[in-house]
C-alpha cells in the first residue's frame, strides 16, 4: 500500500471513530483555550502529546523548529499562528513545544560549529535555520556547550535554550497580551530526561525556569 492509500484508509478509520455529535457546537466557529506550536518532526504528534481529543480544544501549528516568530521587512515578529490565536481567538495559553533530537536545531548547531552535517537547503528551510543560529551562537559564548560536548547532548541543551528564548520573546512582545500565559516544553523520545517515552517537560513558564524543569 502506498502512502496516499494509507492516508485515505486512515481518514476512513478517523471518520468511523467520530461520534455523530463530535462537531456539535463548533461547526460554525472555534473557541480554543490553547495554541500549541510544535515541530514538524514526524515523531511529535501535535495533538496527542496533550491528549487533546475533543474537537476545538487546541489551536495548533507545526513548523521547522517549533518557531513562534517570523521576519517581515527585516523585523522579527510574532508569527501568523500565534498572532491569530492571541488576537482573534483570545487564547489563554501559548505553548512552545520543542523536542529532543530536533533536526532544525541540529542544523543551526552545524552552521555555527562548521560541522560535517552542513547541507545545502532550500531557501525557506535555510531561512528557518538562520532564525535559530543566533541562539546557538550565544549559547556557545555562554558555555552551554563546547567542542568536547557530545553532539546529542549539545543539541538537546540547545533545544531547551531555543524553547526558552522563544517563550521570552513572546512574553516581551506587545502582540501577546500580558494576561496570556506562555509555557515552554520539551517532548522527549530519546529518554534524555527519564524513562518515560513521550513525556513533555516544562522548561520555561512566562520566561522563568521552573525548579528542576527536566
Of 112, 119, 178, nearest to 145 (Cα)? 112
20 assigned ligand-binding residue: no
Element containing residue 12 per DSSP (H, E): helix 3-17
151 assigned ligand-binding residue: no
- 10 Å CB burial of residue 24 (0-12, 13-18, 19+) is exposed
174 assigned ligand-binding residue: no
Residues facing 35 on adjacent strands: 59, 94
* ∠ CA 202-188-209, rounded to 5°: 20
Which parts are annotated binding residues for Zn(2+)?
39, 99, 102
Binding residues: 39, 99, 102
Amino acid at each position: 500500500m502506498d502512502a496516499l492509500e494509507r492516508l485515505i484508509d486512515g481518514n476512513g478509520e478517523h471518520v468511523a471513530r467520530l461520534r455523530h455529535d463530535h462537531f456539535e457546537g463548533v461547526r460554525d466557529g472555534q473557541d480554543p483555550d490553547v495554541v500549541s506550536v510544535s515541530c514538524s518532526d514526524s515523531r511529535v504528534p501535535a495533538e496527542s502529546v496533550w491528549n487533546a481529543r475533543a474537537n476545538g480544544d487546541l489551536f495548533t501549528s507545526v513548523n521547522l523548529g517549533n518557531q513562534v516568530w517570523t521576519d517581515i521587512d527585516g523585523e522579527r515578529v510574532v508569527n501568523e499562528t500565534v498572532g491569530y490565536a492571541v488576537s482573534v481567538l483570545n487564547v489563554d495559553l501559548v505553548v512552545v513545544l520543542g523536542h529532543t533530537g530536533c533536526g532544525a536545531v541540529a542544523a543551526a548547531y552545524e552552521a555555527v560549529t562548521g560541522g560535517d552535517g552542513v547541507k545545502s537547503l532550500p531557501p525557506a528551510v535555510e531561512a528557518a535555520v538562520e532564525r535559530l543560529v543566533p541562539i546557538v551562537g550565544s549559547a556557545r559564548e555562554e558555555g552551554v556547550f563546547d567542542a568536547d560536548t557530545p553532539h546529542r547532548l549539545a543539541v538537546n541543551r540547545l533545544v531547551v535554550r531555543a524553547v526558552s528564548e522563544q517563550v521570552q520573546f513572546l512574553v516581551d512582545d506587545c502582540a501577546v497580551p500580558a494576561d496570556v500565559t506562555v509555557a515552554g516544553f520539551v517532548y522527549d523520545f530519546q529518554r534524555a530526561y527519564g524513562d518515560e517515552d513521550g513525556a513533555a517537560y516544562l522548561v520555561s513558564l512566562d520566561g522563568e525556569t521552573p525548579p528542576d524543569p527536566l
